[in-house]
Amino acid sequence: MKSKNIPLEERIILALDVPEPDTAKEWVKKTEEKIRFYKVGLQLFLAGWFDMVDWIVDRGHKVMVDLKFFDIPETVKLAMMQLQDRGVTFATVHGNDPIIRASLEARSGHDTGLKILAVTVLTSFGEEDMRAMGMTGSIEELVYFRAKRALELGCDGVVSSGLEAARLRRELGDKLLIVTPGIRPGANVDDGTDDQTRIMTARRAMENGADYVVVGRPITRAADPLGVIGGLQEEIAAVLGG
């Protein structure tokens, strides 16, 4: 992780999961003294379109466009091309072969710095969901298989829960970027009220090999958002030795 030289203020990606661009902009202004990486997901993108993405980039920050592209390959390719030359740092796609190939093809010949992340298994997805879909393997095996394949195809990284990050880092090496959602402050990890199933602390995720952590509600619903960010950064710095 240290060899990637990722600044501490970029290790936390704040999920701007809010319904209106004005609210998202207020969160950026409120937090940009401590963090410089923001996630624009489906809800906010539909509300603010590229104006929202451009606004964040123009303030000198990094953006993860988390739309999890999944469609016929040609449609995915054309959609991914819309993200070129906009200063976007990460874009997410579903982690199956045709989707990844189409995304990489769209990026071919464009040296814009856009990195493609394959979504392995959503952190809201649990073992019971696997059984309900008729799958007999474990989530860990499925995540590992998809991550390994994504790396082989040329993907820059994956979105994976911290629970699977340790095996990915151990067996797939340091080249793979691992972005981990489902991060909760230590006191809230097992309170039984979360719609995410595979969650953990920022410190544990980093210890397991994550490069970045995605955090939303634990910050945006906190009485002291900057205090929560500071606490998360202390957890991360303790692992990184900073």
Q: Which residues does the annotation mark as catalytic?
A: 68
The Cα–Cα gap between 16 and 9 comes to 16
Read off the amino acid at residue 171. E
40 within 8 A of 17, measured Cβ to Cβ:
no
Residue 199 tokens read as 């969650």
Interaxial angle between packed helices 21-31 and 42-58, expressed in degrees from 0 to 180 and rounded to the nearest 10: 50
Read off the amino acid at residue 16. L
Residue 117 tokens read as 């992340």
- The helix/strand count (H/E) of the chain reads as 11, 8
The Cα–Cα gap between 235 and 206 comes to 9
